[in-house]
Structure 1
Amino acid sequence: MKYSIPTEEYVTSGTVACQGCGAVLALRYALKALGPDTVLSVPACCWSVIDGPFPYSSTLVPLFHTAFETAAAAASGIRNGFAIRGNDHTTVMAWAGDGGTVDIGIQALSGAVERDEDIIYVCYDNEAYMNTGIQRSGSTPWGAWTTTTPVRHFKKEEKKDMVEIMVAHGIRYTATACVSHAEDFVKKMKKAKDIRGTKYIQVFASCPPGWKMQSDDSIKALRLGVQTGIVPLYEVENGVYKINYRPKEFKPVEEYLKLQGRFRHLKPEDVEHVTRWRDRRWKLLEAKVAMTRELYGADAAEG
């Protein structure tokens, strides 16, 4: 039987988000998985603007707006406050963009993981500071145009691999996800809900204005990200790697890049650079899966 996504809605329609916003769909799916007994900690990001202005607030669960760098710290405080009151059932989730996660908020996140706070931290990754004007972040990919990495000086650094940084912390559970693959994302959110301790999920979420593409190409771009291998879907539980979806054959990365104006300036040799990066990353990921099978046994690696 095919897995079905819960029908309950905790993000209402009529938000002030841009058309085609992947971040809105991401939270919609996340809350479908977690349910109404959930509290959100949201720092400065697109979602603080989407949910903030009255009367356009769109979430049907409690949401705590906090400072840019403090999503994980605020979530930790909320969770411990609940514990003092004897509440061990409410799910506390920090919900932040990539800028507030991989750059400005990484210290609070690192501390929360080291303390093993019982929270879920989700980074909706649209690969730049989209709320403040499409500035590059540590999650912006190599080759991308942003307002601070214009075409002649496009970003020359690879994006931070936050899942691997979380693995280095010894986190209990961490995973990648993509809005275009909603069932996989919902399953991972449900799994994270049932695990005690810190959980980190990075969900790939499109931004049509920031990626310079049509709003109706939002899901297509995300799906191509997975089909080309640019966005691998995998999880790591207690150090054990598992690939959740492996394309039988990767589509050419050009199909993903050409859909987005932020990559329009790339030359053939630049596209080849991205292809080599993709191939190296997958070889490394597959090696880690094999290594965990050897260390922990095939049953553990296969989940």
Structure 2
Amino acid sequence: MTDIRVQIVMSGTSATEYICKCTSACAGCSSSLILRHVLKAAGPDTVLVVPACCTSVLQGVWPNTAFNIPVYNVAFAAAAAVASGMAAAFESMGKNTNVIAYAGDGGTVDIGIQALSGALERETNFLYICYDNEAYGNTGMQRSGSTPIGARTTTTPGGKVHKKKDLDRIIAAHNLPYMATACSAYPQDLAKKVQKALSIKGPKFMHILAPCPPGWRYDASKTIEVGKMAVKTGLWAMYEREYDLLTISGPTKAAMIKPAPLEDYFKMQGRFSGLKEEQVKTVRGEMERNLRMLKAEAEGC
């Protein structure tokens, strides 16, 4: 951990901690790890907009907080709308304050997608980050549009029967100046992408995989290992898109050449304990299709 911290600070991120000790996060929480690196990359002149999600809990109980920057807690569907007004206000005052909306997959893929689409269409100067634990983690791990097929949640106890929503291609259809995917297990890649996003004016979007120990049913000590396996199998692809130019990140390039066994990823998590063979085939087919499409796009085909 020390080596990673030093390398990230040396890459140009802040040495100051903006997520303090004693958060209300679960043990092994990767979304708090993500936010730590996001804010170190963004720096002190940043305002965070947080809708209903795990993050609105882990910051602590009023009047105390574990966050060392201004935070606006807003309604589930309103993060992008509030961030739009905030960005416009800062611009009118001639300020370059970073406005970051930080929302879970429930508040992005499902409940907040209309506000997000509107903000992107209006070319709002902000960064929207979806940290994706593939369910409604804050309210008991109910299925979301981002929950993978076969995964057990409190509302799909026998395993989800529908495919997950392709959020990234929905966002890409808005033709953003910048969007990227990342994973909590690769903090240097994540921090560099945040810095790049904030250097560009206009709407930016990042989709970050956030493994969840209680929701995914694995030991809290395995968070980084689970995240890396998601990338190594090719199931979670990491890349950057600047308008029509797509660049695939190194770990995903490696997965395209020699992927780790998909079954090994599933075996690490109790939520996939009832996964059927035909569901594995479906997931594998969707994964291979996604990687083919990304490779073709990156090669200009």
TM-score by length of 1: 0.92
2:224 to 207, 219, 230: 219
* C-alpha distance in structure 1 between counterparts of 2:27 and 2:222, whole Å: 11
Q: For residues 150 and 217 of structure 1, what CA distance do their matches in structure 2 show?
A: 23
**2:148 aligns to what SS in structure 1?**
coil
Superposition pairs of residues 134-213 of structure 1, within 5 angstroms: 134-151=141-158, 154-213=159-218
In structure 1, the residue matched to 2:65 is: 57
User: Per-residue deviation at 1:163?
Assistant: 1.6
Q: Helix, strand or coil: the match of 2:23?
A: coil
CA contact (8 A) 1:174 1:201 kept: yes
Deviation at 1:276, TM superposition (A): 2.1
Counterpart among 283, 286, 289 of residue 277 in structure 1: 286
Q: Deviations over 1:229-272 (max 9, x none)?
A: 01110111011111012124100001111100000111334323
Q: Are the aligned partners of 2:150 and 2:276 in contact in 1 as well (CA < 8 Å)?
A: no
8 Å Cα contact 1:14-1:56 kept in structure 2: no
CA RMSD of aligned residues (A): 1.4
Q: State the SS of the aligned residue for 2:48.
A: strand
Note if contact 2:104-2:133 (Cα within 8 Å) is conserved in structure 1: yes
What secondary structure sits across from 2:182 in the alignment?
Answer: strand
- In structure 2, the partner of 1:110 is 117
Q: Post-superposition shift, 1:53? A: 1.0
Tell me if the contact between 1:145 and 1:155 (Cα under 8 Å) persists in the aligned partners: yes
| Structure 2 residue identity aligned to 1:237 | E
Whether the aligned pair in 1 keeps the contact of 2:230 and 2:265 (CA below 8 Å) is: yes
SS in 1 for 2:107: helix
CA contact (8 A) 2:23 2:60 kept: no
Question: 1-side partners of 2:63 and 2:8: how far apart?
Answer: 28
Superposed structure 1 runs of 4+ greater than 4 Å apart: none
Structure 1 distance, partners of 2:167, 2:130, is: 10
Look up the match of 1:25.
33
Question: Does the alignment pair 1:130 with 2:130?
Answer: no
| Amino acid in the other structure paired with 1:117 | T
Matches of 1:210 and 1:226, distance apart in 2: 19
Q: How does 1:287-302 map to 2 (within 5 A)?
A: 287-291=296-300
**Residue in structure 2 matching 1:232, options 220, 224, 237:** 237
CA separation in 1, counterparts of 2:166 and 2:33? Answer: 23
Q: CA deviation at 1:55?
A: 4.9
Are the equivalent residues in 2 in contact too, given 1:213–1:261 (CA < 8 A)? yes
Task: Indicate conservation of the 8 Å contact 1:16/1:56, yes or no.
Answer: no
Do structure 1's residue 90 and structure 2's residue 107 form an aligned pair?
Answer: no
User: Post-superposition shift, 1:54?
Assistant: 2.5
Shift of 1:78: 0.9
Q: In structure 1, how many angstroms separate the alpha carbons of the residues matched to 2:290 and 2:109?
A: 19
**SS of the counterpart of 2:28?**
coil
The superposition leaves residues 88-136 of structure 1 with CA deviations (integer Å, 9 ceiling, x where unpaired) of x210000000000011000110000000000000000000001011111
Query: Residue 4 of structure 1: SS of its match in structure 2?
Result: helix
Moved more, 32-41 or 160-169: 160-169
Counterpart in the other structure of 2:22: 14
Structure 1 residue identity aligned to 2:127? I
Whole-angstrom distance in 1 between the partners of 2:76 and 2:226: 28
